[in-house]
Amino acid sequence: MEAPFLLVDLDAPASRPSAETPCVRVAVAAEPAEVAGAFDLLLTGWPDPPRPWVGCADPYATAERLRRVIAARPDACLTLVQVLRMGPALPPSDRLVVESLAYSTLQAGAAFRSWLAGKRPHAAHPSAEPVLLDRDGDRLTITLNRPRVRNAFDAATRDALCEALEVAVTDPTVSRVDLCGNGPSFCSGGDLAEFGSSPDPARAHRVRVHRSPAALLRRCGARVTAHLHGACVGAGIELAAFAGRVTAAPDTVIRLPEIGMGLIPGAGGTASLPTRIGRERTAYLALTGATLSATEARRWGLADEIATYHTDSREGTTSHIQS
């Protein structure tokens, strides 16, 4: 079966693809142009082009790279853009359900199972307190607290974060929530020690929907400030993007690695990131696995300001100072 990839050069005479074309639709152009949502990714040689375009030194080389990625992981890539296309027509809560359904479908697929079989073993490092909660008047600070593993997101962290966010959602006297991470990184993504350990994708979907930090953050996000530093990978940026305000330290590095595993973002990223940067740029980050610096995140709107952080590696604590 041919890889679901279509490249259209907007500078050359060509017909626009049908909205029903079952492929990832990529457009390239020397200069950004209005295309009214006809494509999944838009690449241009312009530096710092307006949203939804992505600036590349060589858009054709980037398109070729995308072709190779899609050929290697066609099911995950096509599922990603289909979920992103559906997003604007769905209520916010339903976007999370659709993402989870798609994620579970891919968990049962051959590409993910192949990746899982080749994954090297990772030792588990459970934490007695994976999430810390501190209340000071009307201000609530929620801190991810697994610095030894860069706050890798495991089931215990998910459950503890849900409990903490329930306080923010249900207590009307909480007017501000700060979401932070102890140690060298805000959150390095899913904990590989238990990643993919669920034997039942249908059951995993049920758990994701009913025990969802993303759903809780969506409800209280207007009062949340996420303080990013270090690695913000997978869940580390997917959850943070729900916050009403996001600050990023200069060392912040953002990445969505799931396509390489045969999956799509599964912690709410197909709902949170498009709200901030659009579905086309979200697709670019997910399909390419490219890293985004703090400066680039600020320019795209994924971060609202650059902040300065100081980390005490001995204590594993992080303080944040807005600049």
The string of DSSP letters for 73-102 reads: SHHHHHHHHHHHHHGGGS-HHHHHHHHHHH
Provide the β-strand partners of residue 143: 132, 180
Multiple choice CATH, 91-322, 3.40.630.70, 3.20.20.80, 3.90.226.10, 3.40.50.2300: 3.90.226.10
- The CA distance from 323 to 250, in Å, is 11
The 10 Å CB-count burial string (b at 16+, else e) for 181-209 is bbbbbbbbbbbbebbbebeebeebbeebb
- Name the segment(s) of the chain with CATH classification 3.90.226.10: 91-322
Residue-level pLDDT, tens digit, the chain, 323 residues: 667 999 999 998 765 655 566 899 999 999 998 887 889 999 999 999 999 999 999 999 999 999 999 999 999 999 999 999 999 999 999 999 999 999 999 999 999 999 999 988 888 888 999 999 999 999 999 999 999 999 999 999 999 999 999 999 999 999 999 999 999 999 999 998 888 777 899 999 999 999 999 999 999 999 999 999 999 999 999 999 999 999 999 999 999 999 999 999 999 999 999 999 999 999 999 999 999 999 999 999 999 999 985 444 334 444 444 43
Q: Confirm whether pTM is higher than 0.85.
A: yes
Match 């966010």 to its residue by tokens.
165
The crossing angle, in degrees rounded to 10, of helices 74-86 and 269-288 is 140
- The CA distance from 126 to 146, in Å, is 8
Q: Where are the alpha helices (DSSP H) in the chain?
A: 59-72, 74-86, 92-107, 110-118, 155-170, 201-210, 213-220, 235-238, 269-288, 294-300
Provide the β-strand partners of residue 139: 136, 176
